[in-house]
Amino acid sequence: MSGKQSKSINIKLNVWRQSGPKDAGRFERYDLKGVSPDSSFLEMLDQLNEQLIGEGKEPVAFDHDCREGICGSCGMVVNGVPHGPRKLTTTCQLHMREYRDGAELWIEPWRAKAFPVLRDLMVDRSAFDRIIAAGGYVSVNTGSAQDANALPVNKLAADLAFDAATCIGCGACVAACPNASAMLFTSAKVTHLGLLPQGQVERAERAVSMVSQMEAEGFGGCTNHGECEAACPKGIKVDFIARMNRDFIAGSLA
């Protein structure tokens, strides 16, 4: 590397502004100059907020926490794509070098009945928490610690369980789905326990409880568009939905 700094770029932003759940909301236009291509998307929004505060205006509210692609809180739709144009990438991991100088961006929150807008780009995703809570518990024996190899786990099952457990609950699958379905999220949470020995006791019951809670929250049904998998920053596969459906049927017939 030469050490030469990247040339800054200018961005035209159309940001969704909404003061609360009952506000109709609207897009507001901002011109942001001197953006470093090496800055992250959220750092660009930080720069915008510094500009707005300096002008005596209300800053844009958006969710964020770890900024490392782990917590799933940074979700927003950029030019119609959840988390932006880069596959397997959360918004906080997206960098401004993805955009050319003078690019125009449209930034809005997740759009789903079950994700009501709290303010600007922030939505209430507590429905996901209630789905997880509906899954209940895992039956395990307590007492003295077992040997590390006391519960052998099939390698394929272990790998699939890990793949499912990588879900960060960001909601991109819901935002991408034309039905606002939470099937991919719910199936990941059902599957990562259902594949392991410790999760077998409540396996079918867990699927029924979590799917029932998902439906009660107002999420739509799955019609196999596949947009959820395409938008997922962790690459969760729609295969897990089929597995959850089988567990759900088994639990419903029990």
CATH topology of domain 125-139+153-253: Fumarate Reductase Iron-sulfur Protein; Chain B, domain 2 (1.10.1060)
Query: For each of the chain's 254 residues, which pLDDT tens digit applies?
Result: 344 556 999 999 999 999 999 999 999 999 999 999 999 999 999 999 999 999 999 999 999 999 999 999 999 999 999 999 999 999 999 999 999 999 999 999 999 999 999 999 999 999 999 999 999 877 776 677 666 567 788 899 999 999 999 999 999 999 999 999 999 999 999 999 999 888 888 999 999 999 999 999 999 999 999 999 999 999 999 999 999 999 999 999 97
Distance CA 162, CA 240 (A): 12
DSSP result, 186-204: HHHHHHHHHTSGGGSTTHH
pTM of the model: 0.90
Where do you find CATH 1.10.1060.10 in the chain? 125-139+153-253
Residues of the chain with CATH 3.10.20.30: 9-118
Is CATH 3.10.20.30 the right assignment for the domain spanning 9-118?
Answer: yes
C-alpha–C-alpha distance, residues 189 and 71, integer Å: 15
Alpha carbon separation from 115 to 119, 158, 214, 218, 240 (Å, rounded): 12, 32, 12, 9, 23
